[in-house]
Amino acid sequence: MAWDTEAAAQRAQQAYRYVGRTLPRGADYSTLDAHTDAAYEAERAGDWPTYVEALRELMRAAKRQAGRAA
């Protein structure tokens, strides 16, 4: 299966838009680094399922971080 660059960009945009809406301004985004790295590595490997799961985990981590900040 060929990597769909457009779909990948759209998924990433959706994920980071969610993060931007979920985390308060000035929040510590470093807790999301591992998920961003995982998505990047999956993209480099052309592993779509892992890429999508990494972005989902990114959003889950943002939601947990926002809950702790509340």
pLDDT in tens, 18-30: 999 999 888 889 9
pLDDT value of residue 1? 61
Higher-pLDDT residue of 45, 24: 45
Helices and strands, number each (H, E), in the chain: 3, 0
Residue pair 45/8 in contact by the 8 Å Cβ criterion:
no
Q: Which secondary-structure segment (H or E) carries 65? A: helix 48-69
Checking if the pLDDT of 50 tops 80, the result is yes
43 Rama class: left (phi>0) / alpha (psi -120 to 50) / beta: alpha
pLDDT value of residue 59? 97
Checking if the pLDDT of 2 tops 90, the result is no
**Residue 61, CA atoms < 13 Å, CB-side half-sphere:** 18
Give the number of other CB atoms < 10 A from CB of residue 39.
Answer: 23
